[in-house]
Structure 1
């Protein structure tokens, strides 16, 4: 009986440590993007630390649902992103730590309309959900992404 309790307590401690480690990793990792209008999973974005030290960056690594087929292009984008595949595209950049589990001062691109917005991220307790927002002036859009 005592051995069973010890094993159970050990497993609970490992589960808690795993959750704490996930939160400690911050926003770095792979995230399922959830459409704020439909609630559908649309893509997987991988967030990492930029190699040049400019903050967090996020790249679309998988397209799971698209109205424009399996390999959509950023038709509404301008400049170097115009008509480029969305898969492999960097859509988040220059996000810097802004408190515990928060990042701000960055930019996010919405490939559906080609517009960029001031962005911020907030990791929810437990490290499994990430609140992502993009704003122009006082008009903001927010999504909650789920860790893959």
Structure 2
């Protein structure tokens, strides 16, 4: 009976550890984005995964300009508050990266192709927006919250 209890306890512990390990390899969660030019924290972005496995991300807190609106956006987003705006969508897992999606820069109103890679055991997320090939773009490293 004691051996059976130890085996069950070990299975539970290993299950929990594997769950934590998987959580570190996913971009799902809340991230603080850091401006690649000013190196200042700008916002908290919540990334979630849809039922189809695609990632979406929306601004859940603005750290510098809480009343910012997307003046340079086009269409339905023009003049809408940045807070609550979906700025990331359509990324699909491709090995250790997530790609094939789009990212909106609310400041410029421009939409770019996007890819992201989880770094440092899930503590950081490299987010790259680019036009055409990924060499023509810029990256930010976000910090998990």
Q: Same fold (TM over 0.5)?
A: yes
Write the deviation string for residues 50-108 of structure 1: whole angstroms up to 9, x where unpaired: 25x26000000000013xxx2110000001110000000000000000102x1000000
**Residues 1:141 and 2:144 aligned together:** no
SS of the residue aligned with 1:20? helix
- Structure 1 gaps, min length 5: 1-12
RMSD (CA atoms): 1.9
Residue from 84, 87, 90 that aligns with 1:88 = 84
Question: 1:34–1:143: 8 Å Cα contact kept in structure 2?
Answer: yes
Q: Distance in 1 between matches of 2:53 and 2:124?
A: 23
- Structure 2 gaps, min length 5: 1-12
Equivalent pairs counted in the alignment come to: 128
The alpha-carbon deviation at position 126 of structure 1 amounts to: 1.1
1:1-148 correspondence to structure 2 within 5 Å: 17=17, 20-24=21-25, 26-51=26-51, 53=52, 55-66=54-65, 70-100=66-96, 102-137=97-132, 138-148=135-145
Q: Distance in 1 between matches of 2:128 and 2:121?
A: 19
Question: 1:30–1:46: 8 Å Cα contact kept in structure 2?
Answer: yes
Question: 1:54–1:94: 8 Å Cα contact kept in structure 2?
Answer: no
Q: Distance in 2 between matches of 1:55 and 1:21?
A: 17
Instruction: Extract structure 1 runs of 4+ deviating beyond 2 A.
Output: 17-22
